[in-house]
Chains A and B, each alone.
Chain A
Amino acid sequence: MKARVHVMLKNGVLDPQGEAVRHALGGLGFDGVEGVRQGKVIELDLAEGTTEATVTEMCEKLLANTVIESYSIEMGA
């Protein structure tokens, strides 16, 4: 089974990379891009029966730094 974890900087934490992407899109003529936030997607290949609670623990311990990042989990993605 698979799980997919999305990690994003929390709202309010300035994302300089997202900001650079926004500027680049503007430079390409894409008007009206008001904000860009860049995060990461982590795909996990898990043994059958692994619970969402276990994946949450993985996020808390390693996959996200909850001081600055939030995460969401899609089980069976």
Chain B
Amino acid sequence: MKAAVLVFPGSNCDRDLKVAFERAGAEVTMVWHKEAALPEGVDIVGVPGGFSYGDYLRCGAIAANSPICASLKTHVERGGYAIGICNGFQVLTETRILPGALLRNAGLKYICKTVPLKVQTSESIFTRQYNAGTTVHIPIAHHDGNYQADAELLAELRGEDRVAFTYEDNPNGSAGDIAGVLSANRRVLGMMPHPERAADVGHGGTDGAGVFQGILDALVEA
């Protein structure tokens, strides 16, 4: 199983994401944003957290227009898998791979703490290790995690069972308490919380490890 982790100037969770993929058993290649193509045979692309391009203009906006993101779009359009975490989620909304947008937290503060999330669906490779309705504890660390979705989009996401995780105690004003969403084909997940920071006993929790194990198990079976 081959994973690629994109690296932008200002990414800072790229190595954590690599370790989480490797722990689950993937072969990982780091891919610099100026590369025009993903490595041959990549099964899943990880878009890491951080502050790509210093969050200039809008979080994720400049990264979304980098050469490697053109390849990411092609990969996703062909039915490839991808996961975007935190700034990676912002990049996925800016590329329009995922719907909605992420705005400044309603309380205007940067929030860094472990929060309880409810798993809303087990129907994806990312969440198949969890039972729907389970509570997991995963850290958040963001200033712009306030997910924006109008009534129509919320209805669509809920109707198609595309809400992956919700906050139990909404920390940032997100519409519908949404912490993570799936693409229409369920092969792309974007989430603000950091499962790669809860994937080792040394992290103080391993509730996030199931995300990576689920990806690996599904793609190795395939």
Please list the residues of chain A having a beta carbon within 8 angstroms of any beta carbon in chain B.
Answer: 9, 12-14, 16-17, 20, 61-63, 65, 67-68
Q: How far is the CB of A70 from chain B (nearest CB, A)?
A: 13
* Contact between chains at B93 and A67 (CB < 8 Å): yes
* A13-B148, A68-B101, A68-B103 known; A63-B108 Cβ under 8 A: no
> Out of A13, A20, A62, which one reaches B103, CB within 8 Å?
A13
B100 beta carbon closer than 8 Å to chain A = yes
**Shortest beta-carbon distance, A8 to chain B, in Å?**
13
B57 near A62 with CB under 8 A, answer yes
What are 14 pairs between A and B in contact, CB < 8 Å? A9-B103, A12-B150, A16-B108, A17-B104, A17-B108, A62-B57, A62-B62, A62-B65, A65-B58, A65-B61, A65-B94, A67-B93, A67-B101, A68-B103
Interface string of B96-111 (1 = CB under 8 A from A): 1001110111111000
Return chain A residues, CB-CB under 8 Å to B104.
16-17
Chain B interface helix/strand/loop/mixed: loop
Nearest Cβ on chain B to A39's Cβ, whole angstroms? 12
Closest 10 CB pairs of A and B: A68-B101, A67-B101, A16-B106, A16-B104, A16-B108, A68-B148, A65-B101, A20-B108, A65-B58, A62-B65
Query: Which chain B residues lie closer than 8 Å to A61 at the CB level?
Result: 65
| Residues of A contacting B96 in the complex (Cβ-Cβ under 8 angstroms) | 67
Q: Which residues of B contact A (CB under 8 A)?
A: 57-58, 61-62, 65, 93-94, 96, 99-101, 103-108, 146, 148, 150, 173
Inside 8 A of A17's CB, which chain B residues have their CB? 104, 108
* Closest chain A residue, CB of each to CB of B99: A67
Task: Across the interface, name the chain B residue whose C-beta is closest to A9.
Answer: B103
Closest chain B residue, CB of each to CB of A61 = B65
Chain B residues whose CB sits within 8 angstroms of the CB of A12 once the complex forms: 150
A62/B61 in contact, CB under 8 A: yes
The docked-state distance in angstroms from the alpha carbon of A63 to that of B96 is: 15
New A-B contacts (10) at CB < 8 Å, excluding given A13-B103, A63-B57: A13-B148, A14-B106, A14-B173, A16-B146, A17-B104, A62-B61, A62-B65, A65-B58, A65-B94, A68-B103
Q: Taking CB as reference atom, which chain B residue is nearest A38?
A: B104
Complex: A12 Cα to B148 Cα, angstroms: 11
In the complex, A15→B10 CA distance in Å?
Answer: 26
Minimal beta-carbon separation of A42 from chain B (angstroms):
9
Residues from chain B with a CB closer than 8 A to the CB of A9 are 103
Min Cβ gap A36→B in Å is 13
Contacts of B94 in A (CB 8 A): 65
Bound CA–CA A64/B58 (angstroms): 9
Residue ID in chain A nearest B172 by CB atoms: A16
